[in-house]
Amino acid sequence: MTARIIGNDYRSLTPPALGSWVPSLRVSVVVPAYGDQEKLDLALAGLAAQTYPAPLTEVVVVDNGSSPPLRLPALRPANTRLIVCSVPGRAHARNAGLSAATGDVIHWLDSDVVLDRRSVEAHMRWHHAAPYLVVTGYLRFTPAGLPAPEVVAAADDLAKLFEPAEPHAWLVDLVERTDGLTANPHRAFSLHVGGATSVNAALLAVAGPMDTDLILGQDTEMGYRLAQAGAVFVPEPLSRAFHLGPTMRMRDKAPIDRVSHAFVADRIPSYRWLRSHPARQWKVPYVEVVVESGGCTYDEVRATVDAVLAGTLPDVAVTLAGPWDRVGAEGRAPLKNPDLDLVLIRGHYAHEPRVRFTDEISGVSGVSGVSAAPPGSRTPSGPAWAVPYRLRLPAGWVPGEDTLARLLDLARDEGYGLVSVLLAEGDGAAAEPGGTGGDGAGSGRAVVAARLERAAAFARAAIVLGEGEDLDDAVDDTFGVIWVDGETYGFAPEARALTGRRGAYRARIEAEAEVARLTREAERLRDQVVKWRDEAGRWRKSTVELRREVGTLRKELAAARKVVQYGLLSSVKRAIIRRR
């Protein structure tokens, strides 16, 4: 049984200790090279000293048009070949080496990287534990002078030759702040860097070769596709290597990011911060909504599709599944055409670039970069395999303006592989718009449901699927499945008025004007409060002064009373004396 890893938590696997196991998988080390014969000699010397069995190792060196041509040195692994790729570019050289490789595992290696003698073994012990892993070692960048190849091959510890050196700081930081890539599986694919990374060959065949249209960022883009194909990414600290000199990224990070981001934004939907534009579309959409059109009316399909396209998530593509091969040239009596609704649907969306058509209900079309492979397929092709999410939605059920975004937030934040949305339930469910009866999570009652599927989860599930096992159960084991209520997430069984961009713009302007008015009113009230506080201060001051005056008057009154009382007493005494 294939090992099942939840998310990217590879810690459930226990690879054997170095030197204590018997390997069986073959590894092909692919080394693209352009010039720098001296550094290539050292890289091959490091490979010649590996502890992984030589009969299970092949090395493919790809000369990417060097002048003078590269040669194989005497000190190299026994099974080493040199091929030539005359098309310039690292991606072309990688792909040429990949085509020539025959191993069960592909180990990428830059021609200026020297591996520790245990590095390949450290990688391969993981690949024996599960067939869908991507393993990356730890690179250090050394400014040291270049020793002789014989010295490298004989060294038990390369640190004595190449330290002091700098770590791959970005990679180390990524691993540390994600608890070894287990705490944030959405970014784990960033670990795929070409300096010293190994990939299961079957997994690589599913994901596809390097994208030769990219100028930079090919490693990251391939890592993303590997993730979509079900990969788990493993950082291996026991695999150590030294890069001879600083990397281009270390020297020029800002301009490299500028160039790389301009291209990978089109291909990696997970990099949401690169897709800040509120309306444009991208080569690989963030979500594909599949609507089954066969047997549904034009009005039902239009209500669903229009609502999807008008939502708060513009990064979306719609696939209409139906028997489009039945739709031919229109005859003389279009109103009597039994397929009139199909004609209307196709005609209405024929020129909408975000809508594609397919005759396969379970698949998606091959138009505009979308492949015919559904999630879980073992033979995907084209950029559509990189679409991270797919929502299967019955025609006639209308999502709210923010419904798709909310469902995607739930799936992404909680890591679910499948979010099933209950739209209708009961004996009349099949009669609802676009409804088809089902068992509804084992309830025995007919249901209408939408399904938000994460491509990576279904790809992983297809790899670990047991005989006779339901694919959804395997998804539940590896990523998790949840049911939610459709009404709670804004689904309705009828069309609703769409806001539209102009309406949304006006509403935003009105809201901004109202905010400005309320802000001014708040400022006025704050000023009034300040005045009241000043007035209250003056009143308090006046009160204190009045209290002081009252106190003084009381003292004077008391003194006067004493005087009056004393004078009155004196008068009485004098009167008594006179009478005597």
Note the pLDDT of residue 360: 63
For every one of its 580 residues, what pLDDT tens digit does the chain have, with 9 covering 90 and above?
899 999 999 999 999 999 999 999 999 999 999 999 999 999 999 999 999 999 999 999 999 999 999 999 999 999 999 999 999 999 999 999 999 999 999 999 999 999 999 999 999 999 999 999 999 999 999 999 999 999 999 999 999 999 999 988 888 888 999 899 998 777 889 888 878 899 999 999 999 999 999 888 899 999 999 999 999 999 999 999 999 987 765 566 788 788 888 888 889 898 888 888 888 889 999 999 999 887 899 999 999 999 999 999 999 999 999 998 888 766 666 787 888 899 999 999 999 999 999 986 544 333 223 333 333 333 333 445 589 999 999 999 999 999 999 999 999 999 999 999 999 987 656 545 555 444 444 445 688 999 999 999 999 999 999 999 999 999 999 999 999 999 999 999 988 888 766 667 777 788 889 999 998 999 999 999 999 998 888 898 888 888 888 888 888 888 888 877 777 778 777 777 877 6
Please enumerate in sequence order all residues whose Cβ is within 8 A of that of 431, keeping only pairs 6 or more positions apart, or say none.
Answer: none
CB atoms within 10 A of CB 149: 22
Note the pLDDT of residue 437: 47
**Residue 59, CA atoms < 13 Å, CB-side half-sphere:** 31
Q: Name residue 142's beta-bridge partners.
A: 244
Residue pointed to by tokens 């000199």: 245
Q: SS3 for 16-27, per residue?
A: CCCCCCCCCCCE
Two tokens at 70? 């590269």
For the four alpha carbons of 234, 237, 243 and 247, in that order, the dihedral sign comes to positive
Note the pLDDT of residue 445: 67
Q: What is the pairing mode between strands 418-425 and 232-244?
A: unpaired
Two tokens at 339? 């397929």
Alpha carbon distance 49, 153 (integer Å): 5
For 24-132, list the strands marked E by DSSP: 27-33, 57-63, 80-84, 105-109, 113-115
Residue pointed to by tokens 């209307």: 344
The burial class, CB within 10 Å (0-12 / 13-18 / 19+), for 533 is exposed
Two tokens at 245? 């000199």
